[in-house]
Amino acid sequence: MESVQIISMVCYVISAPLLGLLLAGADRIISARMQRRKGPPILQPYYDVRKLADKERPSAGGVQEFYVLCSLIFMVITGAVFFAGGDLMLAVFMLMLSTVLLLVAAFSSNSPYSQIGAERELYLTMAYEPMVLFTAIGFYVFSGSFRIIDIATGGSMPIVHLFGIFIGFVFILTIKLRKSPFDIGMSHHAHQELVKGISTEFSGKTLAMTEIIHWYENILLLGFIILFFCDGSILGYVIGLAVCISVYVFEILIDNSFARMKWQSALKSAWPVALVFGLGNIIVLFALEA
């Protein structure tokens, strides 16, 4: 079992950035097709990151680079814990720590634009974090364990019992993926460079690491989607992967269909969703067990 966990960790560390950059490239192509454009090649995110990595580091960017590097390390460790079947709650808190380190990097800048972007990202964190916690609690109530390996091999698909939590998680996934209408903290679109938020003052290798963090995080978040359909069988993983792809395409559709909202809209929409679908689903589970 330990050897399988080690292999899973290594596979995530190596394959996640590769899958993440292909996902980012496919995102750009699908978005371009929706806008009746050809779009860039699928490897364009790799070309962008390689170009950034080749740039010289600015003399004032040492502190920011350190915080972003720490954020990247914790993001990698979070995904390794998740895909190795470790503790789900530990993965959730480490994911939060990675986000906080990225915010600290933005706050360390003297630029008011970077700090405003960090404040907006903090508001978004307040908006989606309750639903993330309800998701972890829901999996615990369903399986009786926070260990992901126990959840994934429980014998029945969690989606059957956690359908409300699944809807709530898909909703806040729009925020976590930084898609419109909730990309107020940082935008990854090339035509929105003036709305870079927390990455306004990042450049060179620091900005390249920020993109790599995003690749790792996207694969991790989609892993949560697959977990809803894991029942210990290959069919469960296949269904989960199919739903995962469908959800991501749906998020791209939302991204290209809605204008950016204010941070107040994120809080007013995410918290009711978390209470109704997240907490409501957990209360129903407790009622059924009673």
State what percent of residues in the chain have pLDDT above 90: 52
Q: How confident is the model at residue 187 (pLDDT cuts 50, 70, 90)?
A: low
Rounded Cα distance, 71 and 135, in Å? 23
Q: Label residue 185 by pLDDT band (50, 70, 90).
A: low
Over range 34-56, report the average pLDDT: 87
Domain that holds residue 127: 2-289
Q: How confident is the model at residue 290 (pLDDT cuts 50, 70, 90)?
A: low
Cβ proximity of 109 and 249 under 8 Å: no
Provide long-range contacts, Cβ within 8 A and 24+ apart, for 252-255: 252/27, 252/30, 252/31, 252/34, 252/179, 253/34, 254/174, 254/179, 254/180, 254/181, 255/31, 255/174, 255/179, 255/180, 255/183
pLDDT of 274 reads 94
SS3 call for 147 = strand
> CA-to-CA distance for 185 and 198, rounded, in angstroms?
6
The total domain count for the chain is 1
**Whether the Cβ atoms of residue 186 and residue 196 lie closer than 8 Å to each other:** yes
